[in-house]
A = this chain, B = another copy of it.
Amino acid sequence: MFLRDFISVLGGEAIGEVAQPLLGVGTLECATAQQISFLANAKYRRSLALTQAGAVIVAPADRDSSNLPRIVVDNPYAYFARVSQLFAPRQSHAAGVHASAVIAASAKVALNASIAEFVSVGEHCVIGEHVRLGAGCVIGDDVVIEANSELVARVVVYAGCQIGARTTIHAGVVIGADGFGFANENGVWLKIPQTGRVVIGDDCEIGANTTIDRGAIEDTVIGNDVKLDNQIQIGHNCRIGDHSIVAGCTGIAGSTTIGQRVMIGGAVSITGHLSICDDAVLSANAFVTKSITEPGMYSSGLPLMPHREWLKNAAQLRHLDEIVETLKTVAKEIRKPGTST
Binary contact track A277-313/B, C-beta < 8 Å → 1, others 0? 0000111111111101000111111111111011111
Q: B residues within 8 A CB of A5?
A: none
How many angstroms from the CA of A301 to the CA of B282 in the assembled complex? 15
Q: B residues within 8 A CB of A102?
A: 98, 100, 117-118, 135
How many angstroms from the CA of A82 to the CA of B303 in the assembled complex? 40
How many angstroms from the CA of A247 to the CA of B23 in the assembled complex? 40
Q: Contact check, A138 vs B154: say whether CB atoms are below 8 A apart.
A: yes
CB within 8 Å of B: which of A298-334?
298-307, 309-321, 323-324, 326-327, 329-331, 333-334
- Could you show 19 A-B contacts with beta carbons less than 8 Å apart? A25-B217, A81-B183, A85-B190, A102-B135, A118-B118, A118-B136, A120-B135, A158-B171, A172-B172, A172-B209, A177-B207, A187-B261, A269-B284, A297-B307, A300-B303, A301-B310, A303-B314, A315-B321, A327-B330
From B298, B320, B333, A334 is in contact (CB under 8 Å) with: B333
Any B CB within 8 A of the CB of A218: yes
Q: B residues within 8 A CB of A245?
A: 182, 189
Q: Contact check, A189 vs B227: say whether CB atoms are below 8 A apart.
A: yes
Any B CB within 8 A of the CB of A153: yes
How many angstroms from the CA of A182 to the CA of B244 in the assembled complex? 12
Q: Contact check, A304 vs B310: say whether CB atoms are below 8 A apart.
A: no
Query: How many copies of the chain does the oligomer comprise?
Result: 3
Q: Contact check, B283 vs A307: say whether CB atoms are below 8 A apart.
A: yes
Any B CB within 8 A of the CB of A225: yes
How many angstroms from the CA of A97 to the CA of B276 in the assembled complex? 47
How many angstroms from the CA of A189 to the CA of B166 in the assembled complex? 13
Any B CB within 8 A of the CB of A201: no
* A122 to chain B: closest residue by CB: B135
CB within 8 Å of B: which of A170-207?
170-172, 174, 177-178, 180, 182-185, 187-193, 195, 203, 205, 207
Q: Contact check, A209 vs B174: say whether CB atoms are below 8 A apart.
A: yes
Binary contact track A239-274/B, C-beta < 8 Å → 1, others 0? 000010101110101000000010001110101000
Any B CB within 8 A of the CB of A223: no
Stretch with Cβ within 8 A of B (4 or more), from A60-68, A107-115, A125-133, A229-237: A229-237
* A307 to chain B: closest residue by CB: B297
Q: B residues within 8 A CB of A185?
A: 75, 78, 81
Q: B residues within 8 A CB of A318?
A: 303, 305, 309, 313
Contacts beyond the supplied A156-B171, A233-B249, A333-B340: 19 A-B pairs with Cβ under 8 Å: A78-B184, A84-B192, A134-B138, A135-B138, A171-B174, A177-B208, A178-B205, A180-B229, A189-B225, A189-B227, A211-B230, A233-B248, A288-B304, A297-B306, A299-B304, A299-B310, A300-B301, A330-B331, A336-B340
Q: What are the 9 tightest A-B residue pairs by CB atom distance, in nearest-first order? A: A88-B193, A78-B185, A299-B310, A249-B251, A297-B307, A174-B208, A177-B208, A156-B171, A267-B269
